[in-house]
Amino acid sequence: MPGAITRVAVAGATGYIGTRLVPRLADAGYAVRCLVRSPRKLADRPWRAQAGLEIVTTNLEDGDALATHLAGCQAAFYLVHSMESAGAEYAARDRHLAETFRDAAARAGVERVIYLGGLGQPDERLSQHLQSRREVERVLSGGSVAVTAFRAAMIIGSGSASFEILRYLAERLPIMLTPRWVRTECQPIAVRDVLFYLVQCLAVPGTAGRVLEIGGADVVTYEALLQVMADARGLKRRVIIPVPFLTVYLSSLWIHLVTPVSARLARPLAEGLRNRVVVEDHAAEHLMPRERLGVREAIGLALEVEERADVESTWSSAGPVAGDPDWAGGTVFQDARSIAIAAPPARVFQVLTQLGGRRGWLAHDRLWKLRGIMDRLVGGPGWRRGRRSPTQLSWGEAVGFWRVAEIVPAERLTFRAEMRVPGVAVLDFELAPAIVAGASGTRLVQTAKFRPRGLAGLLYWYAVLPFHGAVFKGLLNGVRDAAVLPDPPPA
């Protein structure tokens, strides 16, 4: 067993880094306790049933319960932040959660806390996001438990928000007007190098109570990063023109329109471009020697993983998930349709779980995309928000402007709309065994539900109602046709 640490807790185990860290900790021989708000997010992970791994439902605002759940753990990872919370309140919430975690860890007898924050020199005017990360680091370090605080710049990995922004900008814009900050230096790090440091620090006592700056092999500008991405995608060199009038607000709106990342998330990322984020203290490299990946290698590996549809985690799946709403009270409009399919429920369900992403919606894809573009223009997630896997779907996962609110294999799949609509909308599929053409088949019931909010909601429902006949009927027929066809041979 590595070192004196045998059991570790991970707060934020359903996040982008946490989801990847947990199995690597288990592979390194540690017993792992995942402290999560929504255990169902991890229900279908291949490592879910690994020996020594626990998943505990935890409210990080409840210090007493948190202390109980941390008991018996020698180390705890704190991988929590509220960057997508509404308005400027996320910094205050981050500070409050960090205080609660710090005090609970001390009461539970935790010996070490490991935190992943952001690079940035304190003598510079740090972005609000980096200030918040630094404040969380300060709060955690202010208690009696030794803290290992890692500071990293942009993390390059399949499914990360920064990587998605970089890829979409390079792919979609041969000519770019950018902020002057695009020539700021940074030291990106591959996600696999980040994970190495997080796991390895547990076996290196000298990392306790230290601030450790980590970065990749290359120091580059954001402009150079865009050119490397374009080259990796086989595109011509991009024309990049820095201009003085692009503010953080305008930059975040532009990112929102061109990439799948929301303006709310893009704003702190764009704001951070002003700060030079380069490793100045190389203690981490001496304490935990490793040949780190350069920018070109990191981008190439991330693209390969996406091409193989083997993405472990994505930025869009993190954060709270609204479930299937309670429809009690108020007016609820419904559009219910059904179809008989000459295929078993398991096969039909397989087709349903492949909707969205590269496969599309099986019929009238242009109308789906048009609706997504309209949503994007008014600040919604739009249709480009991709899936983690083209063949697997998990509870809480984002699919375009929908999110999975309920999933029961071969029985039910429910999408809840996250698009900007004046009300609450869901698209529900229920499957039941049936006899079709004298053989075992499926009765598939598709129901669109909408609870309007005010007059705007009523007007919206009646405005889109004429399109339901084509879109939803086409979707049902597409599911039927796909379900009765054999799967294509592997490429």
Backbone angles phi, psi at 337, to 5 degrees: -140, 155
- Give the range among 141-155, 173-187, 294-308 with minimum mean pLDDT: 173-187
pLDDT at 3: 47
Q: How many other CB atoms sit within 10 Å of the CB of residue 438?
A: 7
- Sheet of 31-36, strand order: 53-57, 31-36, 7-11, 75-78, 112-118, 146-152, 211-214
In the chain, what percentage of residues exceed pLDDT 70?
88
Q: Work out the pLDDT band at 491, boundaries 50, 70, 90.
A: very low
Residue 83 has pLDDT above 60, yes or no: no
Q: Work out the pLDDT band at 44, boundaries 50, 70, 90.
A: confident
Residue 310 gets which letter from DSSP?
-
**Cα 198–200–202 angle (5° rounding)?**
85
Residue 10 has pLDDT above 60, yes or no: yes
- Give the range among 47-56, 109-118, 323-332 with minimum mean pLDDT: 323-332
Give the residue-averaged pLDDT of 456-475: 87
pLDDT at 172: 83
d(CA 143, CA 133): 17
- Give the range among 147-156, 238-247, 456-465 with minimum mean pLDDT: 238-247
Q: How many alpha carbons fall within 13 Å on the CB side of residue 87?
A: 3
Q: Work out the pLDDT band at 2, boundaries 50, 70, 90.
A: very low
Q: How many other CB atoms sit within 10 Å of the CB of residue 121?
A: 12
- Give the range among 126-130, 202-206, 415-419, 462-466 with minimum mean pLDDT: 126-130
Residue with more model confidence, 121 or 416: 416
Give me the chain's average pLDDT, please.
85
Which conformational region is residue 309 in: left (phi greater than 0), alpha (psi within -120 to 50 degrees), or beta?
left
The two tokens of residue 477 are 């027929």
Let me know: does 96 contact 136? Beta carbons within 8 Å: no
In the chain, what percentage of residues exceed pLDDT 90?
42
Let me know: does 380 contact 401? Beta carbons within 8 Å: yes
Let me know: does 360 contact 368? Beta carbons within 8 Å: yes
Let me know: does 427 contact 448? Beta carbons within 8 Å: yes
- Give the range among 97-106, 175-184, 440-449 with minimum mean pLDDT: 175-184
Backbone angles phi, psi at 277, to 5 degrees: -120, 90
Give the residue-averaged pLDDT of 77-89: 67
Residue 35 has pLDDT above 70, yes or no: yes
CB-based burial, 48-66: b 16+ in 10 Å, e otherwise: eeeeebebbebebeebebb
Let me know: does 284 contact 183? Beta carbons within 8 Å: no
Residue with more model confidence, 142 or 128: 142
Residue with more model confidence, 402 or 202: 202
Residue 198 has pLDDT above 80, yes or no: yes
- Give the range among 119-128, 175-184, 396-405 with minimum mean pLDDT: 119-128
**Cα 121–87–60 angle (5° rounding)?**
80
Let me know: does 69 contact 9? Beta carbons within 8 Å: yes
**Cα 114–119–120 angle (5° rounding)?**
140
CB-based burial, 314-352: b 16+ in 10 Å, e otherwise: bbbbbbebeeeeeeeeeeebebeeebebbbbbebbbbbb
Q: Nearest CA to 97 among 16, 181, 35?
A: 35
pLDDT at 300: 93
pLDDT tens-place string over residues 260-272: 776 666 666 666 6
Residue 86 has pLDDT above 50, yes or no: no
Concatenate the DSSP letters of all residues of 12-29 into one string.
TTTSHHHHHHHHHHHHTT
Residue 85 has pLDDT above 50, yes or no: no
Q: Which residues contact 164 (CB under 8 A, 6 or more apart)?
A: 259, 260, 261, 315
Residue 316 has pLDDT above 70, yes or no: no
pLDDT at 84: 52
Q: How far is C-alpha 131 from the geometric centre of its chain's CA atoms?
A: 22
Q: Is 447 helix (H, G, I), strand (E, B) or coil?
A: strand
**Domains defined for the chain, CATH in brackets:** 7-315 (3.40.50.720), 331-484 (3.30.530.20)
SS3 of 258-305: the string is HCCCCHHHHHHHHHHHHCCECCCCCHHHHHCCCCCCCHHHHHHHHHHH
pLDDT at 293: 94
pLDDT at 243: 80
